[in-house]
Structure 1
Amino acid sequence: MINKDRILNLFLDLVKIDSPSLKEKNVSKYLCSLMKEKGYEVTQDSAGDACDGNTGNVFVRIPGTGGNPIGFSAHMDCVYPCCGVVPVIKDDIVYSSGDTVLGGDDKAGLAMMIEAVQHLKEENIPHPDIYLMFSICEESGMHGAKNMDLTLFPVKEVVVLDSGGAVGTIVIEAPAKAGIDITFIGKSAHAGIAPESGISAIQMAAEAISYMKLLRIDKKTTANLGRIEGGGATNIVTDKVSLSAEIRSTNDQTLQELIDHMKKCCADATVKFGGDYNFEYEISYPALHVDKNSPLLARIEQSCKNIGLEPKQVSTGGGSDSNILYGKGYSALTLGIGMSKVHTLEEFIEIKSLTSCAELVTEIMKS
């Protein structure tokens, strides 16, 4: 039986450890020490070196009794403000004190995996080799998963514990994301004496934006401008404006078409006003598509039913380490773990979600 007090205390200990992206060393040390004390093989990679972080991903191997190995993953970092978390329990729900996020995203996932492994051991339940990955820098661009040492995670199937939604929720589709940086280059001039000799980068940007397809494009595609910077004194025609944008879609063709559309809007604006522009983009992560005949999906759905949960397949507009792992060739999907209002000061998780998801993870881990 899942030990409610143990998983709760572990979760509370974890959220009290500061671990913003790139600075997960303290929680990493805690987890390494904990898992070594339990007698497991613990290793770390050098993923942090690739993104200027202060630690790498942590990998734990739990020897099994037979069957194909399986992997589980959750990330150690949290979004700001996440330092000095003071967890508060009210009516069997864990909140932060209101000054920070709680950090259930994704320390709840870490606690669930560890409790499930402990339960298997206590009850002598047969299971295959199990590999746990505690990843870094998920929130800041999934740099831990992108730079992971694949030799330390020798599995074909990975369950990622990192989504909202009730326990039993299974994310089977998630979009690819393109990050875009645009710079408009005009010509400065005195705005009161000779404005006609200048080229306004602000005017070019406004023209381009006015023709861009933005926000909800279709059911599975979004586009957004997140930042615009430029300008200074009102008596100077602005010669440089920078924009940052993103496009997300589960359809690769639609994603590329929107990138091309956004670029054309920029080109047309510069032709109209006589300036120039620079347009750069990067595919931050690939789309995730779980095949309906996936053995891992079937295994998880059956595990849900075995413990009285109704499995629910969903699509999401957000990315996670699952996208990166899928792109690296793993069969990966993400579970809803009951965390709510993540990335806000109102974040919370029910204690019941901690225990019921740990029970589900235990069921998935079994041979």
Structure 2
Amino acid sequence: MTDEKRIVQQFIDLVSIDSETTEEREIANYLIKILEEYGLTVEEDNTNELTNHAAGNLIAKLPGNKNRDAILFTSHMDTVTPGKSITPIVKDGYIMTDGTTILGADDKAGIAAILETIQIIQEEKLEHGDLYFVIMTGEESGLVGSRHIDINKLPVKYGYALDSDGDVGNIVNAAPAQNKLYATIKGKSAHAGVSPEKGVSAISITAKAISKMPLGRIDEETTANIGSFEGKGPTNIVCDKVLLVAEARSISKQKLEQQTTVMVEALEKTATAMGGTMSIKIEEMYPSYQFSKDDYVVTQAMRATTSIGLTPKLVTSGGGSDANHLSGKGIPTVNLAIGYENIHTTNEKIQIEQLITIPKLMLSIIKNSN
């Protein structure tokens, strides 16, 4: 049974350690020490050499004592900003901040649940197969830790990310892939007052191209957005260069490719028609995943949720998580809701009741494994 006092204190200890994305060294050292104290073997991989983060991913193994499924649970140790000198406050059944920083429940609630689950397994001498607890770096900077993790280090049947908002019992069984677009639009400079007709405005090209793009909610599986475009210069010179950053997301690979093509063609055709040029780089940020209620990884989560008295709910997400890369690399992984609210804001909070329920769900998954 979850020890409420212990998990709350563990969570407070975790969020009190600064770990803004790229700066995970201190939290990694803390986690290595505590996991080893619990008797797990811990490996820090070398993904930081590729990501330029201060630490690599942590892979902790609790060897099985029974011939059962090998399962993975994952969370991430980095936070968004402002995440330094966090002051957690317990009030009205919630843990929140003093309003000057984020809380870091995304995703230190997941880490606290992992540490509590390990202690319960050991205290109650529960039967289980091999359990892998992977704590990623760089989730908030584009899922870079999971992008580079070596899947051969994770000999598991399926896995669960502990990294979604919503009530415990929600199961994110589908999430989109994302393409990011980096475009450079070039026109021709000229004096804006004396001879504007000799110039080609890169800003005008970009604005007209964007007006031709379907953006926002495209359909139930697809979205697109312009993050920024920038063309700097004095008002007396026709701007000859714009940098644009955009994205497209879809659960469907075909729809993602189609939306990306539409956006690229709008830029290309408009630039050509107006006498400019366009170059673009497209970066595949992460793959999509989609599992049905009949897929084993989902079935197990639903059964476990029901066994602890909750009603499972399948959810399609519009965002990515480390589950995307793990599923794409061959480990069927879904993202489980862990109850945090208002993430990435200074109003972030988590209900204590949700926090203490996460280990119950994890233990139910482990106990119900084959």
TM-score by length of 2: 0.97
How far off its partner does 1:150 sit? 2.3
Identity %: 41
**Partner Cα separation in structure 2 for residue 151 and residue 281 of structure 1:** 28
SS of the residue 1:56 aligns to: coil
Report if aligned partners of 1:202, 1:231 keep a CA contact under 8 Å in 2: no
Report if aligned partners of 1:47, 1:148 keep a CA contact under 8 Å in 2: yes
SS of the residue 1:183 aligns to: strand
Q: Does 1:313 align with 2:314?
A: yes
Aligned pairs, number: 367
Report if aligned partners of 1:74, 1:134 keep a CA contact under 8 Å in 2: yes
Give structure 2 stretches of 5+ with no counterpart: none
**Partner Cα separation in structure 2 for residue 65 and residue 298 of structure 1:** 24
- Provide the residue aligned with 1:329 in structure 2: 330
- Provide the residue aligned with 1:47 in structure 2: 47
SS of the residue 2:191 aligns to: coil
**Partner Cα separation in structure 2 for residue 354 and residue 176 of structure 1:** 29
**Partner Cα separation in structure 2 for residue 90 and residue 138 of structure 1:** 29
How far off its partner does 1:230 sit? 0.8
Give 4+ residue runs of structure 1 displaced > 6 Å after superposition.
none
Give structure 1 stretches of 5+ with no counterpart: none
Q: Does 1:139 align with 2:166?
A: no
Give the letter for the 2:307 counterpart.
Answer: N
- Provide the residue aligned with 1:8 in structure 2: 8
Please say which of residues 108-117 and 286-295 is displaced more in the overlay. 286-295
Give the letter for the 1:249 counterpart.
Answer: S
Report if aligned partners of 1:22, 1:48 keep a CA contact under 8 Å in 2: no
Give the letter for the 1:299 counterpart.
Answer: Q
Give the letter for the 1:183 counterpart.
Answer: T
SS of the residue 1:322 aligns to: helix
Give the letter for the 2:12 counterpart.
Answer: L
- Provide the residue aligned with 2:101 in structure 1: 100
How far off its partner does 1:120 sit? 1.2
**Partner Cα separation in structure 2 for residue 263 and residue 354 of structure 1:** 44
**Partner Cα separation in structure 1 for residue 38 and residue 23 of structure 2:** 25
Q: Does 1:218 align with 2:211?
A: no
Give the letter for the 1:211 counterpart.
Answer: K
**Partner Cα separation in structure 2 for residue 51 and residue 291 of structure 1:** 33
Q: Give a deviation string over 1:143-189, Cα, whole Å, max 9, x none.
A: 11011122332212111000001000000000110100111101111
Report if aligned partners of 1:117, 1:362 keep a CA contact under 8 Å in 2: no
SS of the residue 1:298 aligns to: helix
**Partner Cα separation in structure 1 for residue 306 and residue 274 of structure 2:** 62
- Provide the residue aligned with 1:202 in structure 2: 203
Give the letter for the 1:284 counterpart.
Answer: M
SS of the residue 1:269 aligns to: helix
Report if aligned partners of 1:172, 1:313 keep a CA contact under 8 Å in 2: yes
Q: Give a deviation string over 1:297-320, Cα, whole Å, max 9, x none.
A: 111111111110111101010100
CA RMSD of aligned residues (A): 1.0
Give the letter for the 2:272 counterpart.
Answer: V
- Provide the residue aligned with 1:348 in structure 2: 349
How far off its partner does 1:109 sit? 0.3
